[in-house]
Structure 1
Amino acid sequence: MTYATHIPPISRSAAWVGGVSLLLIAVLAAAGNFGALAPLITAGDAAKTAAAISGSGLQFRIGVLCMILAAILDVVVAAALLRILEQANRMVALTAAWFRIAYAAVFVVALSQLASVPNLLPNPDRALDAIDSYNVIWRVGLMLFAMHLVLVGYVAVRTRILPRWLGILVGIAGAGYFVDGAGTILQPDYVPSISTVTFIGEVALIGWLLWTAIRRPKLQLSSTR
């Protein structure tokens, strides 16, 4: 049976909070990971990595702080998307939110490994081991993040509260993260690569949320059963 049900307009405040928070996450992650941390870390070279971090301790700590702030914003995004998607399917929306919150918690655990690095610099091998542990925990945690995106995409495709094309892109992004997370478990020295292509769905979601906040469109929920 096909049916159409009117739902309240998408919350403008939730769209603003979600869009701006996702944009800040992208900025903080880029600044923290690629701007501050990556230039100081040389894979497989403990001595060089320890020397680089010793010479730029503040830069390293700022990088870690940026990543922690991004993890906190992940919880904010989870709440904002729950506010938007619960109008369509509260159970799935709530599950999606909890997956993102669980990912944020795992990410903070991973970041705690990085936070310990400055104290381990007298022993470069231990410092590099902590960095490697961060990478493994974070990549495995991506599987939780992947499930969040897949569920968001599912709600979009099934109910049309988000455009179907957006739901498909977000779902594909989730699949990419899941493959990269699983690859870390299944293959030694796996380097995430799929999500570097499929992440476009996340970018599209940021744009759609901000555009929705500006336009405040009135959408209808439609589905099939």
Structure 2
Amino acid sequence: MSPRKAAVIVGVAMIMIALCAGFAYGFIHSSLVITGNAAATVSQIQQNTPLFRAEIFSWFLILVFDIIIAWALTIFMKQIDAHLSLLGGWFRLIYAMILGIAISNLVLVSLILSGDNYSISLPADQLSAQVMLYLSAFNSIWSLGLIVFGLHLLIIAYLILKSDFIPKFLGILLVIAALSYVLIHSMYLFLPQYETTTTLIEKILSLPMTAGELGFGIWLLLKGGKRPKKASEF
């Protein structure tokens, strides 16, 4: 595959991930999961079962796109450094594997609240506690995956800064994004008592994090792999 084709595939996949993540987490998850209120969360999911299943499907699409990016980005970046490109691809695949484990917890929530004999036989408080446990597991496992994802971005940022054809500001933005992912999700995992502070830091750093990833994706889609035009000869 040519670098240009690989770049287009990565660019499209990155944009699709941004759209799917905005729909799955930004719209559905944030509206259905009520922090600190298990009963309300269970009620919301039960009343919006098709929407919750749409979230799960969106996460599955994100997982598929991450695997595609791991493959195509390795092909594109190997022109800079084949070994580091492969390492970056493996980190992305490991992240995808962890994300898949996290998504399985959402599937379990859907099964528990599907209205079969199992959910009916459980007391309401026990059912709510079990649902919140799986939702909490989703967040914690995904945070672990995002730490690995940050390491993947750090490798990609280094390759960009090392290259002589990718804008350096994209590498700088990805360095900021990578360190932000590692910092924020390490705090979520290992310093849960500072969740309010972590959430504030995440809001502050969300702009450069998004700009780095989307900026690189758009550059790949529009410019990546294009050969420079030769000067006209007279």
Question: What TM-score bracket applies, with the shorter chain setting the length?
Answer: 0.7 to 0.9
Matching of residue 205 in structure 1 with residue 221 in structure 2: no
Q: Where does residue 132 of structure 1 map in the other structure?
A: 136
Matches within 5 A, 1:163-174: 163-174=167-178
CA distance in structure 2 between the partners assigned to 1:50 and 1:161 by the alignment: 51
Matching of residue 218 in structure 1 with residue 210 in structure 2: no
Q: Which runs of 5+ in 2 are unaligned?
A: 114-118, 120-126, 230-234
Q: What does the per-residue CA deviation read over 1:43-98, in whole Å, with 9 as the maximum and x for residues that have no partner? A: 11110000111111111011011011101101111111111110110111000010
Residue 187 of structure 1: how far off its partner (Å): 0.8
Report the RMSD for the aligned CA atoms in angstroms.
1.8
Identity of aligned residues (%): 27
Q: What does the per-residue CA deviation read over 1:110-139, in whole Å, with 9 as the maximum and x for residues that have no partner? A: 011111112334401110111011001101
Equivalent residue letter for 2:141: I
Q: Where does residue 92 of structure 2 map in the other structure?
A: 100
Matching of residue 112 in structure 1 with residue 123 in structure 2: no
CA distance in structure 1 between the partners assigned to 2:129 and 2:55 by the alignment: 21
Q: Where does residue 124 of structure 2 map in the other structure?
A: none
Equivalent residue letter for 1:186: F
Q: Where does residue 39 of structure 1 map in the other structure?
A: 31
Deviates most, 161-170 or 51-60:
161-170
Which structure dedicates a bigger proportion of its chain to helix? 2
Residue 216 of structure 1: how far off its partner (Å): 1.8
- The count of corresponding residues between Structure 1 and Structure 2 is 209
Matching of residue 90 in structure 1 with residue 94 in structure 2: no
CA distance in structure 2 between the partners assigned to 1:120 and 1:218 by the alignment: 56
CA distance in structure 2 between the partners assigned to 1:159 and 1:212 by the alignment: 14
Equivalent residue letter for 1:212: K
CA distance in structure 2 between the partners assigned to 1:179 and 1:198 by the alignment: 14
Residue 41 of structure 1: how far off its partner (Å): 0.7
Which structure dedicates a bigger proportion of its chain to strand? 1
Q: Where does residue 123 of structure 2 map in the other structure?
A: none
Equivalent residue letter for 1:132: S
CA distance in structure 2 between the partners assigned to 1:195 and 1:92 by the alignment: 26
Equivalent residue letter for 1:173: A
Q: Is the 8 A contact 2:80 2:162 kept in 1?
A: no
Q: What does the per-residue CA deviation read over 1:145-204, in whole Å, with 9 as the maximum and x for residues that have no partner? A: 001110001011123242221111111111110111211232115345165233110011
CA distance in structure 2 between the partners assigned to 1:151 and 1:161 by the alignment: 17
Q: Is the 8 A contact 1:29 1:70 kept in 2?
A: yes
What secondary structure sits across from 1:116 in the alignment? helix
What secondary structure sits across from 2:42 in the alignment? helix
Matches within 5 A, 1:46-85: 46-85=38-77
Equivalent residue letter for 1:142: L
TM-score (norm 2): 0.84
